[in-house]
Amino acid sequence: MWRYHLLLTLFSLPAILFTAWQAWQQRDMRFLRERLSFIRTFHKGSIWIHAASVGEVNAVMPLIHALLKRYPDKQITLTTSTPTGGEVAQKQLPTGATHCYLPIDFNWASRRFINKLQPCCALIMETELWPHVYRHCVTSGAPLLIINGRLSEKTVDAPDWLRALCPYVLANVTAILARSDADRERYISLGAAADKVKTIGNIKLITPTDAAVEPISLGRPFVLAASTHDDEELRIARLWLSIKQRNQRLLVIVPRHPKRSTPIQQQLAELNCNVAVRSNNDAIDETTDIYLADTLGELPSFIAASDFVFMGGSLVPIGGHNILEVAQLGKGVLFGRHMETFSDEAKLFLDAEAGFQVDGDEMLQESITALLADPEQAQQLGENGEKLIAECGHILPDYLDEIEGHCEINNLHPTDKCRVG
């Protein structure tokens, strides 16, 4: 633990400066204030849920809706660690839920945060292990659950000093609800008590309970490249232009980080093609080859309207992105070999014949060409994905029952202390 304190001390100034730079970039001074634990309002005694960024926010939304329905007298406080996660949260949160940013894990900041919030229970999404936050939360009397618990092989293979910190952190956890048996075993290998860790299922397989996604209309059918990263846009654009039988279809690119729009446009300018840019309100006509959708929060609508989807972050060593949303919207998906972060999901899709994994650009080109030539095959991939999601309908009620069993939310009021263990 002393190494963690030392690192926090050494990097405190750089961490604060980086946070200030993020706030300036996003024009969001609330991000700076709240990351330093200067939070103005709180609903004391609320159910506290932490979802680090955009992917976790989207995944936890069905659970938030379900918790509010089951406990209509309780408030929910959702925290995120990134400005983009906060932006998406504020757009999607229902009445009865509020958002703020989780403070940096300085001891004083975490203590101040928990003292102000006084949560009735804490639900931490996936892999967020913050020693000071965990300790102060448990000291307050609030049970702390890790939900959709996920650990990668990289985390398990961390340096010895970091692995030694994990049992200390995990000792403060009331329960770990893991997304898979493999994740359960990894938590146990890092020092979690076996009787605290239970496999429930992947929360991202829960079908959203809010209104149906409205497909975007572009006036032409299209294939979607979603959540792409640097180098992927140019590679995908090149192979797209080399496909002769595109049948008047567009390639729509939705980059993971819309702020990269300018460099992406500069790269695509090297190609002999017609590119329209959404943020410029460019019109799409019969000569348009590629549409760059450099906006935030519209990805589900693009997925819903597409013929099929290639999920980015997988041609380059990023680790992939969430392919489950594609299946929830009934579309087939292609993804590259770099799916380390979503290896369990990739295996599920391959076993269910809901998607294809490609080894590189040439194989991706061949797969896109095949699906363009055989729309029924693309449709079948989507139907298989929908079936996979439907078979996981037990996951949401299972999570609700586990949370209720450990937190006894129905018996709690804002001034009550929560049961631990």
270 is catalytic: no
User: CA Rg, the chain, in Å?
Assistant: 22
User: Is the separation of the CB atoms in 308 and 382 below 8 Å?
Assistant: yes
Return the structure tokens found at 113: 């945060």
What kind and span of H or E run contains 70? helix 54-70
d(CA 144, CA 123): 6
> What is the token pair recorded at 138?
């448990």
Neighbour-count burial of 411, counting CB atoms closer than 10 A to its CB (0-12 exposed, 13-18 middle, 19+ buried): exposed
Non-local CB neighbours of 315 within 8 Å, separated by 6+ positions:
231, 232, 235, 236, 336, 338, 360, 361, 364
Nearest Cα residue to 352 out of 324, 313, 371, 312: 324
36: which DSSP letter? T
Is the separation of the CB atoms in 226 and 311 below 8 Å? yes
Cα–Cα distance, 141 to 135 (Å, whole number): 10
> What letter would DSSP give residue 342?
G
Contact 383, 354 (CB under 8 A): no
What tokens appear for 350 in the block?
């391959």
Amino acid, res. 401: D
What is each CA distance from 91 to 59, 61, 94, 97, 333, in whole angstroms?
Answer: 14, 11, 9, 11, 26
Cα 224 from Cα 305, distance rounded (Å): 9
Tokens of 301: 């609508």
Which alpha helices (DSSP H) does 269-360 contain, by range?
299-305, 324-328, 343-351
- 56, 87, 232, 345: the active-site residue: 56
CA distance 166 to 157: 12
Give the residue from 297, 264, 261 showing the smallest Cα distance to 279. Answer: 261
What residues act catalytically?
Answer: 56
